[in-house]
A and B are shown apart, each in its own frame.
Chain A
Amino acid sequence: MSVRRPERPARPQAEEAAGPRAKAGVAAWAIPLGVIALTLAAGFGLELWQGGWWALLAIVFVCVVLLAQELEPRLPLRYRGAYQRVLALGFPLALLLVWEWLAGSGVLNARWFPPPSQIAVALWELTVSYDRFNRSSLLGRPWLLPSMFAESGWAGVQALVRESHVWATLSRVLGGFVIGAVPGVLVGMVMGLNRTVRMMLDTTMSAIYVLPKIAIFPILMLVFPNPFGEGPKIAVVAISAFFLVAISTMAGVQGIDKVYLEAGRNFGANRAQMFRHVILPGALPIVFSGLRLALGTALIVIVAVEFVRADRGVGFMIFYYWQVLVTPRMYAALAVVMALGVALTALLQYVERRAMPWRRGSDGHG
């Protein structure tokens, strides 16, 4: 009857286990290192890179994995966390370095796969410059904010915000997400609680849910007075979010253990109390996994819509720089999409931790 703590393997055991394996350990180190050396020598010496670079990389990758696995149990426990971070961040870094080198040495066609350094330069240029032809910029040139505000007040600030690709995408994603997710949670709750409503809506919802939302974009353009404005773009994001959130909320409500509902009833909870104290918190974990999915889908949908019909937004950037064949900038825009995805997910995870404090530091039950 004590507080549970994460188990830690006892240190002496690990050392004991390493002892008898010392002899095998030498081979485990030497063989992968030798293979890496041979591979690199063959690559450079025999010019094997040109045709079989991917096979050589695969061999090196396997050897690095073998070496890392030999290394890990020998590390003192206090370095394990740092080691895991090195693996997690080191791999993408290594990938970029290999890419840089392959593109630089001409193995990869730099026109279609520009080296990461060029992409980084393009990203920097996009950040600090203003595109006169499209009358737009990546972030809306925030360094101009004070002077524009002094010159023409809030109208100036709005003009800067309007020229920004990132703000265009972000406002569509966030606006559509909120407009879709809030009713999604409400409808999902009703569907979870009321059998009749569930039976009536479930099939229809499932059918609409699997429909690619970009396919209904033309209809939405007809529905709104300004087909080229923000309305249809936000609406298509909202619709995508709505069905995902509604369906997962319904599942969350239905998945609540019956014993919690009975406990609520036995202790005299009325309908409102039942909802507030039992149903809402009980469904919340599944609701949040629905929200996470919906956020990712919202980003996918908005990039697709911006390909088709927009003069602002990161999706527009990707498509535009592909059309004009400025590939480093196209990749820079792709990197921006990834950064947006990571940032939005982190934001949602922050909200999730705040909303469900009972899941922090727990072992995952309930």
Chain B
Amino acid sequence: MSAKIVARAAEKRFQTRQGWMTALHDFDLEVAEGEFLCLVGPSGCGKSTFLRILAGLDHATGGEVRITPGPDPKQPLANVVFQEYAVFPWKTVLANVAFGLEMRGLSRAAREATARRWVDKVALTRFVDYYPAQLSGGMKQRVSIARALANDPQVLLMDEPLGALDAQTRAVLQEELLQLWEESRKTVLYVTHSIDEAVFLGDRVVVMTAHPGTLKTVIEVDLPRPRDLGVMATPAFAALTGAVWEALRDEVRRAMAEQA
């Protein structure tokens, strides 16, 4: 398998009033085609910055960050499922899901047919003409996931997409997300601060160091797929989350000490 996402000595520096601040430093990463990669790290370690660079919302100030383009030049490179509920409140569920396709100039009939299929897949068929304000948080985030997947990007970028949800809704959506991913096996970069979530979803978990963010360690998750929430009760799962926490603990302490 070839590397879909490549980062070599990636560097991101911001100018602030206090001077230059390094968010990302000497960051190396390769994500294989079809891999589900989870990125964890203490807050402010630059994991979201890396995702934003991949999404084209920011640019690296040094090194190299790229997504290897696929054979179809029309297929978008990367779409994001954002942290908050970034679905447009002024568009219906259907129009939100069809948004990317509309921007690409697809005809109304074509984009609505695709959007309807994705609305069905995320179990929002009844709510297709609702506006986001009429939906719960979990439903809004399903719309956001469907909006990204309906656009059929080569890489799916997820920036703590379930962070704002309550624990139960979150568990349900994690499982639904895995089911959707099993169907397409897209390359996914998933940023989270939940260790359980990272181990449950990912093929590999990348732990980043506290500021400036760089790669600390990579943990292979060899749990069998397809997974369901039952896997969380297994000793293997506990061993993996323990290993991630082991790597993360010192970084979280350092980050907290720096912020204090």
- Chain A interface (Cβ < 8 Å from any Cβ of B): 1-4, 257, 259-260, 262-270, 273, 277-278, 281-282, 284, 356-359, 361-366
9 cross-chain pairs, A with B, having the tightest CB-CB distances, nearest first: A366-B89, A362-B133, A281-B90, A358-B131, A267-B100, A259-B86, A268-B103, A263-B86, A358-B90
Q: Is the CB of B88 within 8 A of A263?
A: yes
B138, CB-defined interface residue at 8 Å: yes
- B169 touching A1, Cβ below 8 Å: yes
Q: Quick one: which of A268, A278, A282, A358 contacts B133, CB cutoff 8 A?
A: A358
* Contacting pair A263 B80 (CB below 8 A): yes
Which residue of chain A has its CB nearest to the CB of B147?
Answer: A267
CB <8 Å contact, A366 and B90: yes
Q: Once the chains bind, are B131 and A284 in contact (CB under 8 Å)?
A: no
B99 with A277: CB separation less than 8 A: yes
Residue numbers in B under 8 Å from A364 (CB-CB): 133
Picked from B82, B92, B103, B136, the residue with its CB within 8 Å of the CB of A259 is: B82
Q: List 21 A-B contacts (CB under 8 A).
A: A1-B138, A1-B139, A3-B134, A260-B88, A262-B57, A262-B86, A265-B56, A266-B55, A267-B100, A267-B151, A273-B102, A277-B99, A277-B102, A277-B103, A281-B88, A357-B131, A358-B89, A358-B91, A358-B132, A364-B133, A366-B90
* Alpha-carbon distance A2/B136, docked complex (angstroms): 6
Chain B positions 115 through 133: 1 when the CB is less than 8 Å from some CB of chain A, otherwise 0? 0000000000001001111
Identify the closest chain B residue to A365 (Cβ): B133
In the bound complex, what is the Cα–Cα distance between A358 and B134 (angstroms)? 9
Question: Are A269 and B57 neighbours in the complex by a CB distance under 8 Å?
Answer: no
Among B137-161, those with CB < 8 Å from A are 138-139, 147, 151
| Chain B residue at minimal CB-CB distance from A5 | B134
Docked-complex contact A266 and B89, CB < 8 angstroms:
no
Say whether B241 faces chain A, with CB atoms less than 8 Å apart.
no
Q: Does B79 contact A (CB under 8 A)?
A: yes
Chain B residues with CB under 8 A of A362: 131, 133-134
Complex alpha-carbon distance, A1 and B122, angstroms: 13
* Chain A residue at smallest Cβ distance from B133: A362
Q: Contacts A259-B82, A361-B134 hold; do A277 and B57 have CB atoms under 8 A apart?
A: no
Contact with A along B47-60 (1 / 0, CB 8 A): 00000000111000
A267: chain B residues within 8 A (beta carbon) = 76, 79, 99-100, 103, 147, 151
Q: Taking each of B55, B103, B127, B151, which has the highest tally of chain A beta carbons within 10 Å of its own beta carbon?
A: B103
On whether the beta carbons of B88 and A277 are closer than 8 Å, the reply is yes
State in angstroms the CA–CA spacing of A102 and B78 once bound together: 75
Query: For B133, what are the chain A residues with a Cβ–Cβ distance below 8 Å?
Result: 358-359, 362-366
Contacts of B89 in A (CB 8 A): 358, 365-366
B177 touches A (CB below 8 Å): no
Q: When the two chains form the complex, which single residue of A3, A262, A356, A357 contacts B135, counting CB atoms closer than 8 Å?
A: A3
Q: Whole-angstrom distance from the CB of B82 to the nearest CB of chain A?
A: 6
* Residues of B close to A3: CB separation below 8 A: 127, 130, 134-136
Residues in A with CB closer than 8 Å to B76 are 267-268
Does B66 count as interface, using CB distance less than 8 angstroms? no
Is A260 a contact of B86 with CB atoms below 8 Å?
A: yes
Give the shortest distance, in Å, between A99 (CB) and chain B (any CB): 43
Are B90 and A356 touching (Cβ within 8 A)?
yes
B142: min CB distance to chain A, Å = 9
Bound-state Cα–Cα, A242 to B103, Å: 33
Interface assignment of B104: CB less than 8 Å from any CB of chain A: yes
Using Cβ atoms and an 8 Å threshold, which residues of chain A touch B86? 257, 259-260, 262-263
Using CB atoms, name the residue of chain B closest to A2: B136
| CA A194 to CA B89, docked complex, whole Å | 24
Which residues of B lie under 8 Å from residue A265 when comparing CB positions? 56-57
- Residues of chain B lying within 8 A (CB to CB) of residue A269: 103
Report the Cα distance A276→B85, complex, angstroms: 20
The listed residue with most B CB atoms (<10 A of its CB), out of A257, A264, A358, is A358
B119 CB, nearest partner CB in chain A, Å: 15
Cα-based distance from A270 to B147 in the complex (angstroms): 18
Q: Name the B residues within 8 Å of A264 (CB-CB).
A: 103
Residues of chain B contacted by A257 (CB below 8 angstroms): 84, 86
Complex CA–CA separation, A264 to B89 (angstroms):
13
Which of chain B's residues have a CB closer than 8 A to the CB of A361?
134
In Å, the complex CA distance between A157 and B221 comes to 84
Chain B's closest residue to A259 (CB) is B86
Are A4 and B134 within 8 A (Cβ)? yes
Q: How far is the CA of A85 from the CA of B14 in the complex (A)?
A: 58
- The reply to whether B134 and A266 contact each other, CB–CB distance below 8 Å, is no
CB of A284 within 8 A of CB of B90, answer yes
Q: Told that A1-B172, A3-B136, A263-B88 touch, could you supply 20 new A-B pairs with CB distance under 8 A?
A: A1-B169, A3-B135, A259-B84, A260-B86, A262-B55, A265-B56, A265-B57, A266-B56, A266-B78, A268-B76, A268-B100, A269-B103, A273-B102, A277-B102, A281-B88, A358-B90, A361-B134, A362-B131, A365-B133, A366-B132
A273 contacts B90, CB within 8 Å? no
Report chain B residues within 8 Å CB of A273.
102-103
A264 to B91, CA, bound (A): 13
